[in-house]
Chains A and B, each alone.
Chain A
Amino acid sequence: MAMKFSENADRMDVRYVAGLARMALSDKEETQLQGQLDDILAFVGELKKLDVSGVAPTDDASGTLNAWREDEPATGLAREAALANAPLARHGQFVVPKVIE
């Protein structure tokens, strides 16, 4: 079982990546995550040792094909049901703080 860590792992810019994922991190969280993610990346970096040239990626796990639907309408959710879980709703719409372009 390969459990060794390689020495030259990529170091992630945790704050930047958390920003892409829209999560604010405290300084403490960032420090802790940095260490853990460094370890994890070192661990998953083990894959770099494998020769995968000529191997096709598995981009379709199901093996099913053309699971499509005919163009027939069906009943969805009533508006009350759709909005029932909304943190904030008004005029039958979901409401969010102003979007700044």
Chain B
Amino acid sequence: MSADLFDLGFLEAADALAKKAVSSEELTSALLDRSEKLEPALNSLTWFSREAARAEARAADAARAAGDKRPFLGVPIAIKDLLNVKGQPCTAGSNILKGYVAPYDATVIARLRAAGCVFVSRTNTDEFAMGGSTETSAYGTTRNPWDVSRVPGGSSGGSAAAVAARLAPAALASDTGGSIRQPAAFCGVTGFKPTYGRVSRYGCTAFASSLDQVGPIARSVEDAAAVYQVIAGLDPHDSTTSPRPVGDGLPEVRAAKDLKGLKLGLPKEYFVEGLDPEVEKLTRAAVEQCRALGAEIVDVDLPHSQYGIACYYILAPAEASANLARYDGVRYGFRAESEDLLEMYEKTRAQGFGAEVKRRVILGTYVLSSGFHDAYYLRAQKVRTLIRGDFEKAFARCDAILGPVTPTAAFRVGEKSADPVQMYLGDIFTVNVNLAGICGLSVPCGFTPNGLPAGLHVVGPAFEEARILKIGAAYQHATDWHRKHPKI
């Protein structure tokens, strides 16, 4: 047992609790103490309640004393402030949901609750998950634990920073265009975006419904796989979840030690102008590591890759413009004082939404509007088909694709906020995975000379989560980048 309880990962915590080496209350308290200490510098959390968390922890301890043997009983987890937990606030990083208390559990929350987890804190997010730096949150910018002058990435920057700073063993997050994988790469932790349809979106505040997917951010691939196993699978409340069985891949993931017999594809489109040389170097070294572990590295083509961001920045805002229409001050959330209904709508939404949300809602409204729908929205949907086709062809030649997660390491706070297009370009390697609806994993693969982490992107075909988790686990078995902690 390590000296500090907050050092425990998700599975380690589960083991320690099972052996009664520690109680959930002790573990939860240690995390809350640390959160109180570090939050002034990090701002990775939007909400936590000592009383609520300790009450849940004590209940878990009492259940264990009464013979409850659920594997994750009493294990604390942080939740992105986009997922509804009954009785807790759920702000989506927006003023428009200030004061809103969720009256129901998201399906993923209900499943974690059933598995015994304790919801220890809520993590900061770009407003409605729109952003790549957690700077658009109405609750302030989250800082990168490796360098607090830098962003943690986004939109799940709070979850990534909290896991990196060891405020929670693991966190739930969501990924619409890279929002799990990019902050995981920036913060040196493991982030996993499952296949679209693998994990229920019910209760996850929607950004772009055809792209959103819930997944874990954790200290290791094993931990991420453990959380994934709990939350994945068909949900009668989400019509887009797949009936395909999830299977129990965790033992195989934990046992993965090499990559023999696997063909891993390297798309030349991912190693082009714009990719930071230091990040490229780390990515290439990770690819060599995979080769050393027995994988055969093959070249693949993803010829429409360069159109991914444009496609994404039409489709995601279009869907968002409808998804965010419900924030109107009628049933919940913020309402601006007004005389008539129209004024109420216009003032509520003007005052309740931040600049990035307004930008995307207006963009999304425009690309769907009469006269422009075909030129933008419909065309982007066709391009989406081409991008999906690229991956189908590539996966005929390889088992998974490797590449960088981000073109650069974490940038400085404020560095890109004035130029939306430059910010959007940071999603270049991640958005196509969402557009294709497939699964992707970000694993730490080293540090730039500035001491900033970088991530290796492992992308797999639809519903081949177990395969890419095994690849990531084998990589982590051979490396210890994921064991490095920021000095904070």
Asked if A and B form a direct contact in the complex, defined as CB atoms under 8 angstroms apart, the reply is yes
Interface range for B: 35 or more
Are the CB atoms of A52 and B386 closer together than 8 Å? yes
A52 CA to B76 CA, complexed, in Å: 49
Chain B residues 82-104 with CB under 8 Å of chain A are 99-101, 103-104
Q: In the complex, what residues of B have CB within 8 A of residue A100's CB?
A: 340-342
CB proximity of A16 to chain B, nearest CB, Å? 9
B197 part of interface (Cβ distance < 8 Å)? yes
Q: Is the CB of B385 within 8 A of A56?
A: yes
Are B103 and A21 in contact, CB atoms less than 8 angstroms apart? Answer: no
Q: Which residues of B contact A87 (CB under 8 A)?
A: 329-330, 332-335
> In the complex the two chains form, what is the Cα distance from A20 to B339 in whole Å?
20
- Beta-carbon contact of B384 and A20 below 8 Å: no
Given contacts A14-B362, A37-B359, A61-B196, contact A23 B338 (CB under 8 A): no
Given contacts A3-B425, A77-B103, A100-B341, contact A18 B362 (CB under 8 A): yes
Contact indicator B197/A64 (Cβ below 8 Å)? yes
- In the bound complex, residues from chain B placing their C-beta under 8 Å from that of A85 are 99-101, 103, 331-333
Contact status B310-A21, CB under 8 Å: no
Cβ-defined contact, B378 with A57, below 8 A: yes
Decide if A91 is an interface residue (CB 8 Å cutoff): no
Q: Are B100 and A99 in contact (CB under 8 A)?
A: no
Q: Closest approach, in angstroms, between the C-beta of A87 and any C-beta of chain B?
A: 4
CA distance A1 to B311 in the complex (A): 14
Pick from A17, A33, A52, A59: contact of B383, CB under 8 Å: A52
Question: In the complex the two chains form, is B240's CB within 8 Å of A55's CB?
Answer: no
**In the complex, A58 Cα to B462 Cα: how many Å?**
16
Q: How far apart are the CA atoms of A85 and B99 in the complex, in Å?
A: 8
Tell me the smallest distance from the CB of B376 to a CB of chain A, in Å: 7
CA distance A86 to B196 in the complex (A): 33
Least CB distance from B263 to A in Å reads 25
Residue of B whose beta carbon sits closest to that of A63? B197
Q: Once the chains bind, are B341 and A97 in contact (CB under 8 Å)?
A: yes
Q: Is B4 on the interface with A (CB-CB < 8 A)?
A: no
CB-contact partner of B381 in A45, A57, A86, under 8 A: A57
B201 to chain A, nearest CB (A): 10
User: A64 and B363 in contact (CB under 8 A), knowing A58-B381, A96-B344?
Assistant: no
Q: Does B51 contact A (CB under 8 A)?
A: no
The residue in chain B whose Cβ has the minimal distance to the Cβ of A99 is B341
Chain B residues 165-191 with CB under 8 Å of chain A are: none
Residues of chain B within 8 A (CB-CB) of A56 are 382, 385
Question: Is A29 close to B, CB under 8 A?
Answer: yes
Q: Does A90 contact B (CB under 8 A)?
A: no
The complex places the Cα of A68 from the Cα of B383 at a distance, in Å, of 29
- Whether A64 pairs with B243 at a CB distance below 8 angstroms is yes
**Alpha-carbon gap, A63 to B388, bound state (A):** 13
CB distance from A7 to the nearest CB of B (A): 16
Which residues of chain A have C-beta atoms less than 8 A from B379's C-beta?
47-48, 50, 52
Which of A1-57 touch B at CB < 8 Å? 1-3, 10, 12, 14, 17-25, 29, 33, 36-37, 39-41, 43-48, 50, 52, 55-57
Number of interface residues, chain A, beta carbon within 8 A: 56
B29 at interface, CB cutoff 8 A: no
How far is it, in angstroms, between the C-alpha of A46 and the C-alpha of B359 when the chains are bound? 19
Chain A residues in 8 Å Cβ range of B386: 50, 52, 55
Inter-chain CA distance A64–B372, complex, in Å, is 29
When C-beta atoms are compared, the residue in chain B nearest to A26 turns out to be: B350
The verdict on B447 contacting chain A, using a C-beta distance below 8 Å, is no
B381 engages A59 (CB within 8 Å)? yes
Query: Which residues of the partner chain A approach B372 to less than 8 Å between Cβ atoms?
Result: 10
A46 touches B310 (CB 8 A): yes
Q: Which of the residues A39, A52, A84 comes within 8 Å of B420, measured between beta carbons?
A: A39
Of A10, A19, A20, A77, chain B has the most CB atoms within 10 Å of the CB of: A20
Contact with A along B20-47 (1 / 0, CB 8 A): 0000000000000000000000000000
Residues of B within 8 A of A37 (CB): 359, 362-363, 366
Shortest beta-carbon distance from A60 to chain B in Å = 8
Could you say which residues of chain A place their CB within 8 Å of the CB of B241? 62, 64, 67
Query: Within B271-287, which residues are at the interface with A (CB < 8 Å)?
Result: 272-274
Set of chain A residues within 8 Å of B421, measured between Cβ atoms:
3, 39-40, 43
Contact between B383 and A50 (Cβ–Cβ < 8 Å)? yes
**Interchain residue pairs with CB less than 8 A apart (14):** A19-B346, A21-B365, A22-B345, A23-B362, A24-B346, A47-B379, A55-B386, A56-B385, A57-B385, A64-B239, A67-B239, A87-B332, A97-B339, A97-B340
Residues of A participating in the B interface, judged by any CB pair closer than 8 Å: 1-3, 10, 12, 14, 17-25, 29, 33, 36-37, 39-41, 43-48, 50, 52, 55-59, 61-64, 67-69, 77, 81-82, 84-88, 94, 96-100
Residues of B within 8 A of A (CB): 99-101, 103-104, 196-197, 210-211, 236, 239-243, 272-274, 304, 306-307, 309-311, 313-314, 321, 325, 328-335, 338-347, 349-350, 353, 355, 358-359, 361-363, 365-367, 369, 372, 375-376, 378-386, 388, 420-421, 424-425, 428, 437, 462
